[in-house]
Amino acid sequence: MIEALLSGTTDPKVLAELAKGRLRKKIPKLEEALEGNFSSHHAFMVGNILANIDYLDESIARLSEEIERVIAPFCEEVALLSTIPGVDRRTAETLIAEIGVDMSRFPSSAHLASWAGMCPGNDESAGKRRSGKTRKGSKWLRSALTESAHAAARTKGSYLSAQYGGIRGRRGSKKAAVAVGSMCARTSTPWRSTRPR
């Protein structure tokens, strides 16, 4: 419909007939909605926006090809990380980009979670427990782990989903996301660890 508008078609009935799928049930309402004044200025502005979207789509496609080329030597690790609930291919690529694949630099999975800034702080004095703010870590890694925690919370019947539900009831959804993100970091460590346990 937008392309028809840009090419100069302004008849609401003709435009409404271009509807596809479930939108076809709403043709009378579409005709009403398409009544209006679509000038050449509007066409210019919409054409500009669509050209910008096309440019961004091409940029994303080029960047995706480059990521595929660079991540190719680590396809086994990407596949292994993708088996974790809530971790998709893009998140696995982010984890490898931010952490690397050599886990020998981290003595344990808890050290990795701490380095990523996904562990709560411990601020207690005189029997009073104050804010347990998390420390600063890689913002890209943190956002990837938090995103995977939210995705894991929506998977049915998984351990991470159960943990998220339990923590969310007691502490709230944001703290639950950080806790489950920390668990995601801990489960993502053992793919190439050379250090004995």
Q: What pTM was computed for the model?
A: 0.63
Look up residue 42 and give its amino acid.
Answer: H
- Model pLDDT, residue 194: 39
Asked if residue 80 and residue 55 are part of one domain, the reply reads no
User: Among the three residues 48, 69, 90, which one is the final residue of a domain in this structure?
Assistant: 69
Asked if residue 114 and residue 185 are part of one domain, the reply reads yes
Asked if residue 78 and residue 122 are part of one domain, the reply reads yes
For residue 197, tell me if it sits in a domain.
no
- Model pLDDT, residue 165: 83
- Model pLDDT, residue 195: 39
- Model pLDDT, residue 120: 66
Asked if residue 116 and residue 44 are part of one domain, the reply reads no
Count of structural domains within the chain = 2
The alpha-helical segments, DSSP class H, found in the chain are 2-6, 12-16, 27-33, 40-71, 75-81, 89-99, 109-115, 139-153, 159-171, 173-187
Residue 147: give the domain boundaries: 74-192
Dmax (CA) for the chain in angstroms is 76
Asked if residue 41 and residue 63 are part of one domain, the reply reads yes
- Model pLDDT, residue 191: 44
Q: Which residues are within 8 A (CB) of 3 and not within 5 positions of it... i.e. 6 or more apart?
A: none
Q: Which residues of the chain have pLDDT under 50?
A: 190-197
Asked if residue 122 and residue 29 are part of one domain, the reply reads no
User: Among the three residues 69, 89, 111, which one is the final residue of a domain in this structure?
Assistant: 69
- Model pLDDT, residue 190: 46
Q: Which residues are within 8 A (CB) of 64 and not within 5 positions of it... i.e. 6 or more apart?
A: none
